[in-house]
Structure 1
């Protein structure tokens, strides 16, 4: 099986993979597909189990680190018990551990693979604050459940968590050290929420979180993290408090269940605010046998009234015909009428400046995920390209694209694309949640790219902060099919 790059993860040569994966079991049974940045005592891999034909997450833990953090007898056995203790059912929010085995000087933890995205990938799309709350909520509930049964899950690094295709956080790389505590897990939940709100990581970490796509969080003079709502005023104060209070283990937010309860209250309040203030009253039609519902006016009087109305209408028609046939210019009448009902002229288009772009590929690993921003960097000399495929996009994949985000809602009218690969079929669509299927989007416009710049009319039904540029057909290139986008521009209604 050929190794393939994972979003935000550098691909490795076979020599590199051998260096990172000691032991014959790993070398012979698992094909390593991509490594994720993490602390120096553990390696996190996306791998393929060649015996069972399934993808897995593979954690290679330094056994010397286990002995350093747990000086009691038999630290390896204790680590195995702690890690497998997370493996009971949590509605899929904690990856199931398949196997733990000593491999040379490391312990290999094999668990189910979570298709989806890194925390950093989702944070770059700038999710709405309530969406961030929804992403974290179920993992917080799973954590509370684990704590109830005496287990701990070690939320100490952003790459240990992945965002599944159904848009929820999952502990993807289980590995629980002896000195981890339930309080550490609560702080990790706060850090995860903080990262999704601001795109920075607030916990001290022995691993390079910048390599994981999340720079360190900003801090005040006293060393405390800056509350999210101070950085982005659109973040609700209550949600900001949940993140910071969990991080700092404040009274009232010291358990995972307290985090669940706080998020549930916020989400319930949001649903209540979005519900209509009142339900429209149903019109009750009178039943034929309901005498009280029948009009009391006698039919002759009603008929007389109708006759008067008809007569007046006929007279009005005659009068209007006479005036129209008079010396008054018909064009003047038409112009005066149109001036009252004609729509206002369209404003001149205004350039819209994107804030970020992230690869969207729900049926496949994101193509060249680390280069997505080059398509919207206002520099046509740089580009984002799809992977090179031996044939046209297969039905199982369907397409690949970019979710482009804007700092504020925009009224999109036109998209222009500069590309060195003419023949690429591009669709402009409403942007789904990053984990949703392409069938949940709405087509706004489409074109086959010509040499140079191609303009696509694509008016959004309502102001939006995100749009999907979807490639449904690749261009033929040497020894395969591939498409490149040098620059994507956006024009909207003027203000």
Structure 2
């Protein structure tokens, strides 16, 4: 839960590591709807807090901007105003949730037909053009911020641009998205590791899509390269493209509805999966078998019927069986109640064994309040962040440590030694939703022979491992490592510190962890 308990995280979408922004699908408990959260992770004491504030300010400026190519900003939460001190979050941008699929997943099966790519990108290009005319910058230069709607349109689903993002970066983002749709490769820095990088020629510009895929039309290949290098001029491509309007014009000339319709087959199964919306449009025309062998149309999911439904033969048989079972159960209950009454009146038998009216009920008085955290209960965890280590330890995978799935894993970089002498360890800090003493920490799916220290910090920015206290340690035997904690410290920030790595399948020293679970030993302070 984030936003002081209002937003329940449902699924991790991705991370923009350039600004430590985690992207989540969440549910707004207050309004009962799904939303997209752009979560800026960190502490107010860190230098990057100012950059996060600038991103949040830009998101606020875009709150009044509406366009089909961008999710509407619903709210912007800042530290101390909608964001709790123990959440490990600097601020959040709340936007409408975009149903459909991820842009990265869309190209998982290969590049799209060129005309379909042009059609998909038009709404996003239109949003960039309209935003720039209004003096706004969107931040379209990261693929995991973009989703594909069920109708087959690219949409900026996670607003909140980096503070240094410019209009030129938005144009480059359009070019990179077009390049990705045409080739399956990402042409900008800072993209997810799951995407292959675009090849670069001797002059420093990306290799044209038409070179990698000869079926790509020359105009689309050219606009992709020229938008990625707006300041370049060459004999083959001409000058750079600087506006979303120029890109949109080429896309409109190239896209066709026929190929766009074909590509919807990639989107529809994922877009409709898990959707709870009632069906719309005409009912299916296939016939279903009726009780008398006749055919009948399937019934809509109605909220109201003017006439009583007429059950078929099978429904009548089930109804009779249910009524008979209900009658038998009612008779048994009446016999038992009669026996209890006789026992109370005559003083024989077991009599009434429930709590005495007006008297003490010790069993009830000893029950703890149901809304209080119980000893042994699992502790809620905030967003993990690297501590006293470099950014090569895959910060984009840290949310997998708390996503509830032990088979999705964070993985460290590999070394030739269990831990290089120049590296004191690998660690990450996790804020606890409720401070208190702990009984144990379990690490699921951890690499065998990995040695871990469990530490505590009073601050979200301890400044290094020396600013933490060691509580316990353990070495993994494979599978799940359970580390008991005897210390009675009131833990507010938990630190997982890896001092020795186990071996991977290639004989290199590398650690994987699937899930972290923390359990309390007493109610929080």
Q: Give the TM-score of the pair, scaled to structure 1.
A: 0.47
Q: Give the TM-score of the pair, scaled to structure 2.
A: 0.44
